[in-house]
Amino acid sequence: MKTKPRVVVGLSGGVDSSVAAKLLIDQGYEVIGMFMKNWHDESVTISNECPWMEDSTDAMLVAEKLGIPFQAIDLSEEYRERIVDYMFAEYEAGRTPNPDILCNREIKFDIFLKAAQKLKADFVATGHYCQKREIEVDGKTVYQLIAGADPNKDQSYFLCQLSQDQLAKALFPIGHLQKPQVREIAKEADLITAEKKDSQGLCFIGKVRLPDFLQQQLKPKKGKIIQIPENLPVFDRLKIPAGIEPQDWDQDTLDAVCLPIHYTADQGKVLGEHNGAHYFTVGQRKGLQVGGTGKPLFVISTDTRENVIYTGLGEEHPGLNRFGLFVKKDQVHWIREDLALEHGASAEYIARIRYRQPLSKATLIMRENGLYVIFENAQKGIASGQFVAWYQGEECIGSGTIF
């Protein structure tokens, strides 16, 4: 008979997952370490470093030190299908994907979880800086996804697509700690990863340059960079109606404020050339290589079909700052299903559209076609394909892919 609950920890070869494993052992769990190999292609990593081999070795040494069983699992095929192909398709369509969020939903808490369950595991654990709590709603256990205690490291945004079933099986052993405390625990336990730098690359490839990675699949093609003036009549529609609460706006106003603007080449002037609209994203200012504009130039829209990049001058350009966004009905995800908005209902939350962005007050309005999110303050660089996540205090309530 199995007495202790069994946990499979995703050992990444970093300090966070190493300490997660150590804490679970201290708490009396039966712990198994598992390293996920998600990527084979070394041609796009920086210099001749081979990150996954180094990480795999570190993960194995940590498991050895902690005296737990260890195995590596090759998920590169599923990874290519679910994450890499998705990324290429999104960039090609002129959208901005978030592979880290997808990686958690599709790989760590799906394929990896299933692999762990084959080992008769009760839970999977990761080194994410977030927390899980349980409450009871109408006699049913409901799992809450709570921000990590370290405000500089909170990773709840990356987990905003998890379901109740996935959260039920998840443990986040370091979520209540600050990063320096995690390093201290690793040092005291004499773990090889104690001083190891945090990884900076894409979640799955390690040390990789995104443009190099994209160029593998998306070939360069020359196109125009067009500057859109800030007095374009279409920007008038973005203005917030005075004295009317967002939930009382009519459908036309909601659409005007929340749906992306489609620009045409005749609305602005040609500033230069680029190597492919699919390499750029809304809000980007680096890599345009256009000089002499005085103020910095920002990408405000990309058209991958016509291969045109639309830009605006300065941080205050109306095309760069929007008050609203829209999430199609089938893209709306509620972690807290008990709080899901019915058609016609609205609610006040705080929300963000990217990792580490400060949370901003927002009104969520559910209509037949999907969810409208209206921010109290304009948000810079809202891009199709990104995820918006909404919170009540420290709890992540739900998320959705921006249209």
C-alpha span between 78 and 57 (Å, rounded): 22
CA-only gyration radius of the chain, Å: 23
Among candidate residues 384, 228, 216, the one with its CA nearest the CA of residue 308 = 228
Q: Is 203 a catalytic residue?
A: yes
Torsion angles phi and psi, residue 298, rounded to 5: -120, 145
Q: Is 103 a catalytic residue?
A: yes
Rounded to whole angstroms, what are the CA distances from 254 to 54, 323, 342, 396?
A: 51, 10, 17, 24
C-alpha span between 15 and 253 (Å, rounded): 49
77: left (phi over 0), alpha (psi -120 to 50) or beta: alpha
Among candidate residues 389, 330, 382, the one with its CA nearest the CA of residue 364 = 389
DSSP H/E element including 77: helix 76-79
Helix axes 210-217, 85-92, angle to 10 degrees: 90
Of the residues 160, 203, 258, 396, only one is catalytic, namely: 203
Contacts of 39-42 with C-beta under 8 Å, sequence gap 24+, read 39/76, 39/79, 39/204, 39/205, 39/206, 40/76, 41/216
Of the residues 103, 130, 160, 396, only one is catalytic, namely: 103
Whether residue 237 contacts residue 256, with contact meaning beta carbons closer than 8 Å, is answered with: yes
Amino acid at 250: D
Query: How, if at all, do strands 223-227 and 308-313 pair?
Result: parallel
Helix/strand/coil (H, E, C) string of 7-27? EEEECCCCHHHHHHHHHHHHC
**What positions carry a catalytic annotation?**
103, 203
